[in-house]
Structure 1
Amino acid sequence: MGYARVVIQIISERYFPPQANMIMSQSLIKRLHLPQHPVWVTFGSATDTAFIVPIQNRTPLIRLSTRLASRLKISGQKTLNAHYDPPSRRIHFGPLLGILMNRDVEGNETQPFGAMSRFLEECVQCCSTKGVYLTVFSPEQIDLSSKSLRGWIYENKKWVLSDAPLPDVIYNRITSRRLENRTELQRKLDTLRHTYRIPVFNETFLNKQQVHDMLVKDEGMRRMLPETHAYQAARLKPMLERYRTIYLKPTNGSLGQGIIRITRQEGHLICQYSEAAGTVTRIFSSLKDTLRRLSRRLAGSRYIIQQGLDLVTVDGRPVDFRVLVQKDGKGKWSVTSAVGRIANSQHIVSNLARGGTIRKAGEVLAEIRTFTYKPSLDKLRQTALAIAHTFERLAQGHFAELGIDLVLDRRGRLWLIELNSKPSKTDDTITTPTLTARPSVTRLIDYTLHISGWSPHIRFHRRKMTPKSNRSGRKTR
């Protein structure tokens, strides 16, 4: 069994001897422990027979005939990992990572994926250094009947459409709950997971109520969770009697959209919510008037009602902490980043989409004053890791990345506000002007190598399939 990092180059058939379709150096053949007879070659779900011609040099270059490259659906010159598995007599190229996205993004010629373009280009950069082939595709581009898809690859500094086999790993970055819940997409994902055994991670959005009901069962998590219930009009009065401030949040909301804050003050109820221009404030003299207003605003949507907390502020502005936890190259949860998000003075939420700002979590913690105890940055990180481990133990589905939102009250107590399975790639990230892959991208690609079996710590286990000769001498499956 041998591994090597190789450069794949596609050239015309006329440069190959009869029947041959792959050229590589003797030194690379030796490094991969390749036999002299034909072998299978696999890329993603595509498989064909390789007839190898050795040459006398020491380069890591592998030349494929255009016909073989077409059958494997490899496009352009790529740096990939190569591995030979003797029991199955098979060379594997890869891994092939597919990022699943919806197409309704506002892109242009220079940024075809809109605000996600920079993140995806960082993925391309990191994949190139680690020998991973990347394709970006949408649900309608999956063709299960041909075990292939038509996605976007990055070539010559631009995105181009290209055919690809089904990937080794799929990273779900669908940003629309409505699209993700479509029957056709769920059918495709189910087939990819169970029929083709392709890992699909971060496979679904999270529901605030379901996450709370799951975590509250754990004794260690229970103390960190604000009192939370599915919203019913009858719950408003008792919650306001217990807490001076409460929040109403869409069960399936994101980016701070739809959040309503209600504060009890001097016999009145102050109702606040964010709009593009800032915070809208309505003052009601009775619970009845408040409920009447809420019934119109909440119509058609599911909400939770949640205990408000006496939180610390920075310059009088609300602050929370987004801790990004990801699985690493060994499949272990690790903290990738921690930032403090400070709300815009005109909004009640801290999301960048609502005009908030971000800073390093340690800097924000240093400015915070509490009445008693203040947790350290390490405490923040360890708390997030504990949450990720508990969530994984209790939840169904495959998750390798979580955005964990924590807040700090004036007594120095940490609270868990939200778990996000589709953490933003455009907000909540402190980036540099240069196009250097951010740590979260590196960890994403490392996990791809791990889960696809390409990590050096993992051995391949494939069913043996021996090529057979036909009358023309060509090997067939």
Structure 2
Amino acid sequence: MGLAKVQIQIVPLQQFPHHYDLVMSQALAKKLEIRTPLIWIAFGSSVAKGRVAFGQMNSKLIRISSHLAEQLKMNQQPLIRAHFDTHSLRLRFGPILGILINTHPQEQHAQPFGQMTRFLDECTAAGQSRGIRIAVFVPEHLDLNQNETTAWIKQKRKWCRFTYPLPDVIYNRITSRRVEQQETLQRKLSLIKNHFRIPLFNERFLDKYQVYQILATNERISHKLPETFLFRDKRSLSLFKRYPTVYLKPNNGSLGSGIIKMTRTREGWIYQASTSIGTIRRTLGSNYKMIQFLQQKIGKKPYIAQQGLKLMKFENRPVDFRILVQKRKEGVWKITSAVARIANSQHIVSNLARGGTVRKAGDVLRELPYPYKPSLAKLRMTALDIAKSFEQSADGHFAELGIDLAIDTSGKIWLIEINSKPSKTDDTVINPTSHFRPSVLHLIEYVLHLTNKGNSFPPPAPSTISWIKRRRIQR
């Protein structure tokens, strides 16, 4: 099997050698291990038959006819990987990494993808350096009948719209649970995985209570979980009897929205709720009034009730630690980054969407004024154990997890949440001057791991070899 990085030039059909579809140098053909002029050419889900002409020039340039480019739904490629499989006689360009988002870009805007723009720009640049194409698309543009999608591709510093084949790998960056759960999209994702056999990772949001149930059965992790019940479960009432603080969280919530903190005092219970402008506070006299009030506030919305913890604070503000865990080129979990998220003084949660700030985890750990505190290495090891344990029991394909950990005043590490869609906005970047954030480079490495294994390459159709044999006989 041969591999090379090449440049694709599309040439009008009338200017192309008669009866040929590609032209490449003999040196490049040797590197790719192409020994026959009759091959199959693939770009994403597009596959076409082709005949190669071998030239004398010594170049990485491959010229293809406009007719073949149209069949492959391919545009000019400044640098792309070319991989030839000597068994199936298939020359594959790419891979194409499709990034699935839920909002249409504002094409004339300086930041067409809003706060995701810089992340997608970095993905494109990092992908191009490794010969990978990045195609950004929305669910409505997936046309599985035609094996194609309308996608935004960055060319000459501008995001442009093209018709592209279905990608080799799909990374789900949909940020709306409502959009992700739509029946039409779920049908499309099911077909993509099961019929087209395209690897799709981080395919769904995580349900807080399901995550708790998955990990509560794991002996290595269960003692790190705050006791948790569904709020409508009668067992949740026991939390208010046994713990001085209880948190109530939307089961499908994100960004710290809708979180309620209940604190027992001599006078009764103090209710605190996180909002976009700060924390609402109210005193409730008795247990009965407190439960009645919560039931009215929460209504039928799915909520969990969770044991409150006496956590370490940084400068008298709540702090937790987001550990980003990713799969890389080996296909195994590794730590990418560890940051401390410090709550705004007006909020009960540390989420950046609620005015929190982010600092390097090691710096904050050193400054925490507590005698018993874990090392950064222990935090990282805990996150890695959680990611591995979660993957063993959870359904679905995940390659990136945000593990939120907190430390109580005795130094014990607790798991607060696992996030399958960790934020990619600019305010999460510790070092904004670096060319690529590490998470982008690791994302590209994992895509190469998947495609190098051949996971995204369907087996050749029965007609593949027979077509080539027939052509040889006819010659």
Identify whether the pair has TM-score above 0.5, normalized to the shorter chain: yes
For residue 411 of structure 1, give the secondary structure of its aligned residue in structure 2.
Answer: coil
For 1:40-55, list aligned pairs within 5 A. 40-55=40-55
The match for 2:347 is: 347
The match for 2:230 is: 230
For residue 335 of structure 1, give the secondary structure of its aligned residue in structure 2.
Answer: strand
The match for 1:13 is: 13
- Shift of the alpha carbon at 1:352? 0.6
- Aligned equivalents of 1:39 and 1:130: distance in 2? 24
The match for 1:378 is: 377
Which residue identity lines up with residue 300 of structure 2 in the other structure? G
- Aligned equivalents of 1:237 and 1:267: distance in 2? 19
- Shift of the alpha carbon at 1:107? 7.7
The match for 1:171 is: 171
Which residue identity lines up with residue 438 of structure 2 in the other structure? P
- Shift of the alpha carbon at 1:397? 0.7
CA gap 1:342/1:160 in 2 versus in 1, 3 angstroms: same
Q: Deviations over 1:22-67 (max 9, x none)?
A: 1111110111111242111111111112222222222211111111
For residue 311 of structure 1, give the secondary structure of its aligned residue in structure 2.
Answer: coil
* 8 A Cα contact 1:16 1:65, kept in partner: yes
TM-score by length of 1: 0.94
1:443 is aligned to 2:442 = yes
The match for 2:124 is: 124
Q: Deviations over 1:114-166 (max 9, x none)?
A: 11111000000100001101111111111111111111111111111101111
- Shift of the alpha carbon at 1:104? 5.7
Query: Identity of aligned pairs, percent?
Result: 48
- Aligned equivalents of 2:322 and 2:432: distance in 1? 22
For 1:76-225, list aligned pairs within 5 A. 76-103=76-103, 109-225=109-225
* 8 A Cα contact 2:198 2:456, kept in partner: no
- Aligned equivalents of 1:125 and 1:475: distance in 2? 45
The match for 2:335 is: 335
- Aligned equivalents of 2:92 and 2:302: distance in 1? 48
The match for 1:302 is: 302
* 8 A Cα contact 2:450 2:456, kept in partner: no
- Aligned equivalents of 1:285 and 1:364: distance in 2? 38
- Shift of the alpha carbon at 1:7? 1.2
The match for 2:428 is: 429
- Shift of the alpha carbon at 1:470? 12
The match for 1:398 is: 397
* 8 A Cα contact 1:84 1:92, kept in partner: yes
- Shift of the alpha carbon at 1:224? 0.2
- Aligned equivalents of 1:109 and 1:390: distance in 2? 43
Flag structure 1 segments of 5+ consecutive residues without an equivalent.
Answer: none
For residue 270 of structure 2, give the secondary structure of its aligned residue in structure 1.
Answer: strand
- Shift of the alpha carbon at 1:259? 0.3
Cα RMSD of the aligned pairs, angstroms, is 2.4
The match for 2:67 is: 67
1:239 is aligned to 2:228 = no
CA gap 1:197/1:236 in 2 versus in 1, 3 angstroms: closer
- Shift of the alpha carbon at 1:423? 0.7
Q: Deviations over 1:84-139 (max 9, x none)?
A: 11121111111111111102677861111111111000000100001101111111
* 8 A Cα contact 1:99 1:136, kept in partner: yes
- Aligned equivalents of 1:125 and 1:80: distance in 2? 12
- Aligned equivalents of 1:337 and 1:106: distance in 2? 31
- Aligned equivalents of 2:298 and 2:107: distance in 1? 32
Which residue identity lines up with residue 10 of structure 2 in the other structure? I
- Shift of the alpha carbon at 1:10? 1.6
The match for 1:255 is: 255
* 8 A Cα contact 2:45 2:166, kept in partner: yes
Q: Deviations over 1:315-350 (max 9, x none)?
A: 100000000000011101000000000000000000
For residue 226 of structure 1, give the secondary structure of its aligned residue in structure 2.
Answer: coil
Q: Comparing 325-334 with 286-295, which one deviates more in the overlay?
A: 286-295
- Shift of the alpha carbon at 1:407? 0.1
* 8 A Cα contact 1:468 1:475, kept in partner: no
Which residue identity lines up with residue 127 of structure 1 in the other structure? G
- Shift of the alpha carbon at 1:233? 7.5
CA gap 1:460/1:296 in 2 versus in 1, 3 angstroms: closer
- Shift of the alpha carbon at 1:354? 0.3
- Aligned equivalents of 1:434 and 1:11: distance in 2? 40
Which residue identity lines up with residue 64 of structure 1 in the other structure? I
- Aligned equivalents of 1:4 and 1:103: distance in 2? 35
- Shift of the alpha carbon at 1:453? 2.3
Which residue identity lines up with residue 389 of structure 2 in the other structure? T
Which residue identity lines up with residue 441 of structure 2 in the other structure? T
Q: Deviations over 1:215-252 (max 9, x none)?
A: 00011111100010000384564312211111000000
For residue 220 of structure 1, give the secondary structure of its aligned residue in structure 2.
Answer: coil
Which residue identity lines up with residue 417 of structure 2 in the other structure? E
For residue 330 of structure 1, give the secondary structure of its aligned residue in structure 2.
Answer: coil
Which residue identity lines up with residue 337 of structure 2 in the other structure? S
- Aligned equivalents of 2:395 and 2:222: distance in 1? 19
For residue 87 of structure 1, give the secondary structure of its aligned residue in structure 2.
Answer: coil
* 8 A Cα contact 2:39 2:468, kept in partner: no
- Aligned equivalents of 2:116 and 2:181: distance in 1? 22
1:39 is aligned to 2:39 = yes
- Aligned equivalents of 2:18 and 2:104: distance in 1? 48
For residue 223 of structure 1, give the secondary structure of its aligned residue in structure 2.
Answer: helix
CA gap 1:105/1:412 in 2 versus in 1, 3 angstroms: farther
* 8 A Cα contact 2:229 2:236, kept in partner: no
For residue 127 of structure 1, give the secondary structure of its aligned residue in structure 2.
Answer: helix
CA gap 1:248/1:442 in 2 versus in 1, 3 angstroms: same
Which residue identity lines up with residue 296 of structure 1 in the other structure? Q
